[in-house]
Amino acid sequence: METKRPVRVEVTWGHADDEQLLRRAVATALGTGLDQVVESRVCPACGASDHGRPVVRLAGPAPSPRAGHVSLSRHDDVAVVAWCEDAAVGVDVDGPGREGWVQHEARGKCAGSGITAPPPEHLVARSLTTPPGCVAAVAVDTDGPWEVVVR
């Protein structure tokens, strides 16, 4: 009998002022160079490219392949990146006492619905172990088993 491999979510913590954190997390996950990862933005609401959720692609002539799915969140001087090769992912970090909020945000960011529409029922967020002074959660768009690896 074939056992289904769990979907793997890689979580990377860093500093909020680290502009390369997202690309570096993706490059590390893919085992490639930083210059091979191109970051852009796409707004799920209006399609604009100057704001919205981050999208990562491999460097090269367009249309270059998507380098998995990524989500980024910041709180004070802390930043967290979640990356998943196979499925959409959402991560959120906030201050103490905001456990319910980060779970909700992680699911919303994963679904691309933001905070206005309720995320699909099958999206379940998990709490993350965080640096001191914050709480965080991550969600991934799968109805099968999934695992979180913290780098």
**CA gap 12, 83 in Å, rounded:** 8
Candidates 45-53, 88-96, 100-108, 137-145; binding stretch for Zn ion (CB under 5 A): 45-53
Q: What is the DSSP string of 17-84?
A: T-TTHHHHHHHHHHT--GGGEEEEEE-TTT--SSSSEEEEEESSSSSPPB--EEEEEEETTEEEEEEE
Considering only residues 45, 59, 115, 117, which one is a binding residue for Zn ion as defined by CB under 5 A?
A: 45
Q: To the nearest whole angstrom, how small is the minimum distance from the Cβ of residue 46 to Zn ion?
A: 3
Tell me which residue has its CB nearest to Zn ion: 43
Q: To the nearest whole angstrom, how small is the minimum distance from the Cβ of residue 112 to Zn ion?
A: 12
Q: Which residues from 46-75 bind Zn ion, rule CB under 5 A?
A: 46, 48
Q: To the nearest whole angstrom, how small is the minimum distance from the Cβ of residue 43 to Zn ion?
A: 3
Q: To the nearest whole angstrom, how small is the minimum distance from the Cβ of residue 109 to Zn ion?
A: 14
Q: 96 is written with which tokens?
A: 């103490």
Which spans of this chain sit near Zn ion (rule: CB under 5 A)?
43, 45-46, 48
